[in-house]
Amino acid sequence: METGVEEAETGRPLPIARIIAPRSVAVVGASDDVGKFGGRVIHYLLKHGFPGRILPINPNRATIRGLPAFPRASAAPEPPDVAILAVPASALEAQVADCAAAGVGACIVITGKLAEAGPAGAALQERVLAIARGARMRLVGPNCLGIFNPVDRAMLSSSLALEEDDYRPGGIGMVSQSGALMGTLLSFGHHHGARFSRCVSVGNQADLALEDFLDFLVTDDATRAIALYIEGLRDPRRFRALLGGARAAGKLVFIVKAGRSEAGAAAARSHTASLAGAFAAFEAVCRAEGAVVMQDPQAMVLAADAALRLPPWPAAGLGLAPIASSGGSTVTFADMLPGHGLRLARMADATRAVLARWMPESHIHLPVDTGSFHEGTSGDGLAECIRAFMADPDVGAVAVPMTTQPDMAGRAALLPPLARAGGKPLFYVMSAGKVGDASRVAMRAADFPFFDRVSDALAVMRALDEAAAGRAVPPAPERPAGMAPAPALPGGALTEGEAKRLVASCGIATTRETAVQSAEEAVAAAEAIGYPVVLKGVSRAVVHKSDAGLVRLDLRDDAALRAAFAEVSSRLGPDAEGCVVQEMARGEAELFLGAIHDPQFGPMVLVGAGGILVEVLQDVCMAPAPVSAEQARAMIEGLRVAPVLAGLRGRPADTGAAADTLSRLSWLAAELGPRLVELDINPLILRAAGQGAIAVDARATLAKEETP
């Protein structure tokens, strides 16, 4: 890695700040023909006003686009900071070697058919990388689309997105593992007036990776919000630390990651490791660091833009105030809120009083149809109502879903000053086609975001609400009292008894139980514990005891227990370890708790609806371990079953005890580290509020060999 000393002494390796804003650029394979990659690269450098020196490299031409051309990079009059290579794969190695010889600081390799294409390409990529490393020359790519840097007018790319005019500099930094997608998003954002700082397509990441450019963006003054398209991480823990750095720097991060649907499929499977699929862990870590994971790349760009150009979303969980001159557009807007996890605001009395000046009492409700104003839709009335909503404490943002009407552009122009004065976001949606263009022009002129789709606005609102929830750095969790060292246990799948000893060691309540080898021992144990009891057959080979007929619940007397013992014993195989008699726990509700060691992000805990429905409903929340009891409580309260726990019908369950249990489990996972493969408590029975929670069953698998 680069160090300050090396840079100061030698300028090598070239720092990212210089790669992104080079003083000179050699274009290898330069051409006058914009139909060719190299022709487009030089065309776009010129079109977008690159202020540094452009060095066309082409052995057959004396000038290209009026600039002196050179046969090789090494023939250039000075060592170029950056060389852009869009040559056939067959020519790549020689050209990179020439760049290395020329003292090029970094090669941006657009050339594809390298590692992504198979073993031969991978070998070529390795050779190219070795040449670069040998010369302490950096590589961006290969198989990338280069760098867009409107701040420095350095558009180092062949992407057709550069056909757009006038990419003005802005605050959105982007790193993408897909160049084509990034180019599309730049053009899409540009249509909306979004403005970018530095955007990098990282391609195959032979040398510089997404994490390196994210590191740069986190400290880059020009970048104030970050959008990432990720396929896979090279260094997950560095990535997590960088997200933390972005939050500390006050920069919101919006992410789309490939692989969500695989995770969905995995979550439907039946054991903890599947529930904890890689995507879920990724999402949990991002959430823990305040980054927002989204599904739709287009919405991601709009969210990053809205985060910068709208006033900040005040706080998570506030309501929306839709207001426009059409009942149809405001009502359908309001109807779409719950599907995006959003809600209407509750109007304050002061707001009602303002609305009462403009409209009949019977029409004062959200959403507001300004068509019901006494004098018809009025700009003054609209402005006054919006001012009232901006001051209303339950209003997080105002939405104006505009329809075709006279003077749409004039009406639109009223809105940016109202949002800026009010200090809350205002979502202006212009759903119409060409007749809405004058409004869009007005909004671009006011440097204010607009939305072409209600669905876009809703996705962005949702993202900004989530971002608000993650803006503050939570206090570091403290280790709970009463955590004993984990007992010595074998590797592999543990018995229920072993797993319970493990969870009990960190202060989690477990059902009382006694191992028994005969009906007589069982009866004695039951009398000590107190009827009713549960009898379970113990076998290390059986994962789902209930399915194997090894669990008999609610045994109320000696006779029932003896009969159950006979039956369960008959089902146990030769590998079995006998039976246990357990306390029969009852409560108000049950939860599923789990812990895993994610190969990328380390220890994670999860909590979900208990019972068989966890697998159907995927009502699960995951977080990186450890978590505090407060964080654990928030995880539980975010579940869909939360209303049941809170006593939707019947008595409230002890969610406090469940949160304490989850926190303890998270510390156990954190302390076991890679030794823990997976552990789950299913169910944790929650008694009535104040009466605790108890682990009724537990399963765990430890790594066979503990790493020394």
Identify the sign of the CA torsion 334, 336, 338, 340.
negative
Shortest separation between residue 402's beta carbon and a second copy, angstroms: 8
Residue pair 163/186 in contact (Cβ under 8 Å)? The answer is no
Compare residues 231 and 478 and give the one whose CB is closer to a second copy: 231
What pairs with residue 26 in β-bridges?
55, 83
Compare residues 244 and 327 and give the one whose CB is closer to a second copy: 327
The per-residue DSSP string of 602-656 comes to EEEEEEEE-STHHHHH--EEEEESP--HHHHHHHHHTSTTHHHHTTSSSPPB-HH
Spatial CA neighbour of 405 closest among 370, 365, 447, 374: 370
Contacting residues for 534 by C-beta, under 8 A, at least 6 apart: 511, 551, 552, 553, 554, 555, 581, 582, 583, 584
Shortest separation between residue 397's beta carbon and a second copy, angstroms: 17
Residue ranges with strand state E in 473-578: 492-493, 513-516, 533-537, 551-555
CA–CA gap between residue 598 and residue 276 (Å, rounded): 8
Shortest separation between residue 26's beta carbon and a second copy, angstroms: 23
Compare residues 187 and 600 and give the one whose CB is closer to a second copy: 187
Shortest separation between residue 297's beta carbon and a second copy, angstroms: 5
Shortest separation between residue 306's beta carbon and a second copy, angstroms: 16
Compare residues 426 and 458 and give the one whose CB is closer to a second copy: 458
Binning the chain into helix, strand and coil, the percentages to the nearest 5 are: 40, 20, 40
Shortest separation between residue 132's beta carbon and a second copy, angstroms: 24
Q: What are phi and psi of 117, to 5 degrees?
A: -100, -10
Residue pair 187/176 in contact (Cβ under 8 Å)? The answer is no
Compare residues 28 and 614 and give the one whose CB is closer to a second copy: 614
- Going edge to edge, which strands form the sheet with 533-537? 513-516, 579-583, 533-537, 551-555
Compare residues 160 and 249 and give the one whose CB is closer to a second copy: 160
Compare residues 180 and 541 and give the one whose CB is closer to a second copy: 180
Q: Which H or E run includes 456?
A: helix 454-469
The per-residue DSSP string of 555-597 comes to E-SHHHHHHHHHHHHHH--TT---EEEEE----SEEEEEEEEE
Compare residues 330 and 582 and give the one whose CB is closer to a second copy: 330
Q: Which residue has the tokens 């809350």?
A: 424
**What is the bridge-based pairing of β-strands 551-555 and 513-516?**
unpaired
Shortest separation between residue 84's beta carbon and a second copy, angstroms: 17
Residue 223, SS3? coil
Shortest separation between residue 338's beta carbon and a second copy, angstroms: 5
Contacting residues for 442 by C-beta, under 8 A, at least 6 apart: 409, 410, 412, 413
Compare residues 302 and 668 and give the one whose CB is closer to a second copy: 302
Compare residues 316 and 331 and give the one whose CB is closer to a second copy: 331
Shortest separation between residue 611's beta carbon and a second copy, angstroms: 9
Shortest separation between residue 104's beta carbon and a second copy, angstroms: 26
Compare residues 127 and 651 and give the one whose CB is closer to a second copy: 651
Shortest separation between residue 615's beta carbon and a second copy, angstroms: 6
Shortest separation between residue 179's beta carbon and a second copy, angstroms: 8
The CB density around residue 147, as the number of other CB atoms within 10 Å, is: 26
Both structure tokens of 593: 């708790």
**What is the bridge-based pairing of β-strands 24-28 and 82-85?**
parallel
CA–CA gap between residue 288 and residue 605 (Å, rounded): 12
Shortest separation between residue 452's beta carbon and a second copy, angstroms: 7
Both structure tokens of 652: 């409230």
Shortest separation between residue 502's beta carbon and a second copy, angstroms: 25
CA–CA gap between residue 579 and residue 533 (Å, rounded): 13
Compare residues 375 and 575 and give the one whose CB is closer to a second copy: 375
477-495 in b/e form (b: 16+ CB < 10 A) is: beebeeeeebeebeeebbb
Compare residues 64 and 342 and give the one whose CB is closer to a second copy: 342
Q: Taking each helix axis as running N to C, give the angle between helix 437-445 and helix 408-422, from 0 to 180 degrees, rounded to the nearest 10.
A: 30
Residue pair 69/30 in contact (Cβ under 8 Å)? The answer is yes
Compare residues 232 and 578 and give the one whose CB is closer to a second copy: 232
